[in-house]
Amino acid sequence: MLKKLIMKNYKINTYQCRKASFCRTIGLLLLFCVILLSCEEMLEVEIPSNQIGKDKVFADVQTANAALAGLYAGLRDNSPLSGESLGAFLGVYTDDMDSYALTDTNGVLALYHNQQTETNSTVYSVWSTAYQHIYAANAIIEGAQASALPGNEKERIEGEALLVRSILIFYLQQVFGAVPFPVSTDYKVNQSLSRLEEGEVLSRLETDLLRCIELLPDQYRDVERVYPNRKAAELMLAKVYMTGQKWAQAENMLKTILGSPLYSFQNDLSKVFHKDSRHILWQLEPANPGDPTREAMLYYFSGAAPTGYALSDRLVASFEAADLRKQHWMAAVIVGGNTWYRADKYKNIEGNSTEDSVVLRLEEVYLLLAEALSKQNKTAEAVGYVNPTRERAGLSPLASSLSKELLLEEILLENRREFFAEMGHRFLDLKRNNRLSDVQAVKPNWKPFHSLWPIPQKDLLLNPNLNPQNNGY
């Protein structure tokens, strides 16, 4: 009986217990709801350590400069200005270099045979990498303009980015003709941009470069001249003027550069590609100490037939026997009775500490000025700007009595000998002088429409506003 009573009590107690824990259960249910409500804050995450908010990038000069450094690194590694891009592509496209690839894996062989189509992958990479960096430049321009950086720094940062954008668009215009000209980072606008007529592109470039000249200082940010200054912008503007046949304006601009105490002509041929030399306007530094330049890696071959690029016979033949550039800037590779020449301007393939990839150098100012003067019939003055490179190469100076036609011919030739394997000079020079048909002599497939490359099909399909395709493609 007693036992039963205890049992009963126990049961009641257990019941109460269970009631209490039932409350607890309800409490837990409430807890779930509370947790749910406070979820918002639980989902807060920190920005990852390798990213930085756009607003913070332009909050101080250091980080804004880092954004510019990212842009220059991109230009050096993967852009039309890179040492392994247009220099080689336009070299084989015209008559300076031969491609020795046996199969066309990336489209370079098609360019060499002047058989490129709108699906050519090299054409696409030149186009798309240019616009990739144009976006980055626009992002910096927008960021700097909206920033509270100190005035002079703000201007310089904007100026550098604007200059990079202008150079890229200049090259795009040279290679593709009428091209879209993005000036903002808004993809909703950019994705349906149409192409601007070539003349319109040039006039906008003039405006932009004039603004660069206002924004940029003369003095270099670094003694090594790895960042462009006002003079680099002036040289670019001169090139744009020359493309638009504005000889007098070009002459003016080029003379401004020559008047600067920052530069002196490099008389030692072996030091033309030394990074400390005072004739360099702008150069791109390799990524890491000791890294060779892109050009040195690209053109190197030895001990066997080339598999990539070698200088064309026609280029080699364009040098007079006594021309020292033949000894300094080319290397003969002799295998089994065959001789090939490799471009040897950049020599350090390992442990490089003396060479950067030159983008702009004073010789170009000389030869452009000679051309601009000749076009204005100032031939006697012009000769004075062709002779320095000739004399440095051990050649005799030209007579100041040369006729305009002969002089222009000499300038074209001198440009070829001076700037082979650099930035596609030959193509630009021939084009400016309406002489692209010259290459037909060694390029059986060359047609007049080859003065332009096709707009990549991929972009035509994604943005029909880019139609029509360039003639002939």
Footprint (CB under 8 A) of other proteins, residues 99-138 = 100, 102-104, 109-110, 113, 115, 117-119, 124, 127-128, 131-132, 134-136, 138
Q: Identify the residue among 2, 5, 51, 353 touching other proteins (CB under 8 A).
A: 51
Query: Of the candidates 4, 5, 32, 261, which one interacts with other proteins according to CB under 8 A?
Result: 32
Minimum CB distance to other proteins, residue 9 (Å): 10
Q: For the segment 402-461, give every residue that binds other proteins (CB under 8 A).
A: 445, 456-459, 461
CB 161 within 8 A of CB 142: no
What is the distance between the alpha carbons of residues 147 and 367, in angstroms, rounded to a whole number?
Answer: 40
DSSP 440: G
- Note whether 291 binds other proteins by CB under 8 A: yes
- List 4, 38, 148, 434, residue binding other proteins (CB under 8 A): 38
- Backbone φ and ψ of 355, nearest 5°: -120, 135
**Given the structure tokens 């992958």, which residue do they identify?**
121
From the CB of 324, what's the least distance to other proteins, in Å?
25
Contact status: 31 vs other proteins (CB under 8 A): yes
Query: Contact, 400 vs 387, CB < 8 A?
Result: no
Residues near 452 by Cβ (< 8 Å), separated by ≥ 6? Answer: 175, 176, 177, 470, 471
User: Is residue 60 a contact partner of residue 154, using CB atoms and an 8 Å limit?
Assistant: no
Provide the 10 A C-beta neighbour count for residue 350.
Answer: 9
User: Which phi and psi angles does 431 have, rounded to 5°?
Assistant: -65, -45
State the nearest-atom distance from the C-beta of 379 to other proteins, in Å. 42
Q: How many residues does the chain have?
A: 473
Give least dist CB 329 to other proteins, A: 17
CB of 359 to other proteins, least distance (A): 13
Q: Would you count residue 330 as binding other proteins (CB under 8 A)?
A: no
Size of the site for other proteins (CB under 8 A): 113
Q: Does 46 bind other proteins (CB under 8 A)?
A: yes
Find the binder of other proteins among 219, 288, 353, 434 (CB under 8 A): 288
Binding status of residue 1 toward other proteins by CB under 8 A: no
- The token pair at 161 is 């980015």
Smaller CB distance to other proteins: residue 74 or 87? 74
What is the Rg, in whole angstroms, of the alpha carbon atoms belonging to the chain?
A: 31
292 binds other proteins per the rule CB under 8 A: yes
36 binds other proteins (CB under 8 A): yes
Which class for 213: exposed (0-12), middle (13-18), buried (19 or more C-beta within 10 A)? buried
Q: How distant is the alpha carbon of residue 48 from its chain centre?
A: 30
| Cα–Cα distances in angstroms (integers) from residue 375 to residues 40, 93, 137, 250, 428, in the given order | 71, 27, 35, 11, 17
Answer for which of 349, 396, 397, 435 binds other proteins (CB under 8 A) is 349
The residues, ordered by sequence, that sit 6+ positions from 104 with a Cβ below 8 Å of its Cβ are: 110
Q: Which stretch binds other proteins (CB under 8 A): 288-296, 315-323, 364-372, 412-420?
A: 288-296
* The token pair that represents 347 in the structure block: 């020599």
Q: Which is nearer to other proteins, 61 or 210 (CB)?
A: 61
Closest CA to 418 of 271, 319, 348, 292: 319
Least gap, CB of 355 to other proteins (angstroms): 14
Encoded one letter per residue, x for contact with other proteins by CB under 8 A and - for no contact, window 221-260 reads -x-x-xx---------------------------------
Q: How far is the CB of 313 from other proteins (least distance, A)?
A: 13
Q: Which of residues 382-401 bind other proteins (CB under 8 A)?
A: none
Which of 259, 303, 321, 434: binder of other proteins (CB under 8 A)?
303
DSSP state of 402: -
